[in-house]
Homo-oligomer: A and B are copies of this chain.
């Protein structure tokens, strides 16, 4: 591939001059500029970003680590992150930790080795480690981490409250909440708290069912759901911690001949595409994923520039009523 040197040779200038027109800095005569441009075109010159990064001591790359890619929530999140990064001339290095602790560690080190501009660490249930030695901004999304640069989350507590209120308003008396994984503390846990608060205040019967890590890892909840429904036949309202779970609840209900929303009403969480692809479509708590992605990228770039950024940002959620309630 053509290099700066080639372009310099072609134009009879030196690399420093060519570099200058490439970066638009310093004084360059219009004629020289044109000469360089046409030489670049002629040689099909593509600046070597690797060399550039080495020289500038920084890259335009953001490391994104998620626990799952195939999970619609993360797919949606990644999609938005990529888009926001693109708008700002950044690229995404994508890593899928698969909920494995070692793998997450490895990825963090890879990010570091690759001198990413910063890291966006999403959710995930692995233990809160000492992420020291990381010299780059670390933004977390929906995840607790003591020594991160900044955390972005949605108002999970409010989300739990909205779900409970809605189910109660719709006449439910016996509620169940399928919550997240119990092992690790996560911001999403607040959903259960908000839900509980409203139930208690309203004197409504409720139960909280935590899913296991194994289930989360395989994204498979059918069995557990069926068991819970059999053991709690009086249930008439369910709040699921994700639309993904809600969709599976819907399937189990169908199999058990429980009509939704007539016999049981369901509220999901996230509001990702799956919520509107099921039949009936899922009433859910909308998580502002697009905004969360935008803010995360902005915080990262801001932190990279050496600025002080808010250590915690919380965004509001909202109820989207569809057909399961």
Residues of A participating in the B interface, judged by any CB pair closer than 8 Å: 1, 44, 46-51, 53-54, 59, 61, 68-70, 72, 75-76, 78-79, 82-83, 86, 91-96, 98, 103, 109-110, 112-115, 133, 135, 219, 244, 247-248, 250-251, 254, 272-274, 277-281
Contact = CB atoms under 8 A, between A and B. Distances in A.
Contacts of A59: 50
6 contacts: A46-B113, A47-B113, A82-B96, A86-B103, A93-B93, A279-B279
Given A83-B96, A115-B50, A70 B273 contact: yes
A296 to B, nearest CB: 16
Given A50-B53, A50-B114, A274-B277, 19 more contacts: A44-B133, A48-B113, A49-B110, A69-B79, A69-B82, A70-B75, A70-B79, A70-B273, A82-B94, A83-B98, A86-B95, A86-B96, A92-B93, A92-B94, A92-B95, A94-B94, A250-B279, A278-B278, A278-B279
Contacts of A135: 1
Nearest to A61: B93
B79 A49 contact: no
A96 B79 contact: yes
A115 B70 contact: no
Nearest to A251: B279
B48 A251 contact: no
Contacts of A280: 254
A48 B115 contact: yes
A143 to B, nearest CB: 20
Contacts of A251: 277-279, 281
A50 B54 contact: yes
A143 B1 CA distance: 27
Nearest to A277: B247
Contact of A78 (B69, B219, B244, B274): B69
A94 B96 CA distance: 12
Contacts of A46: 109, 112-113, 133
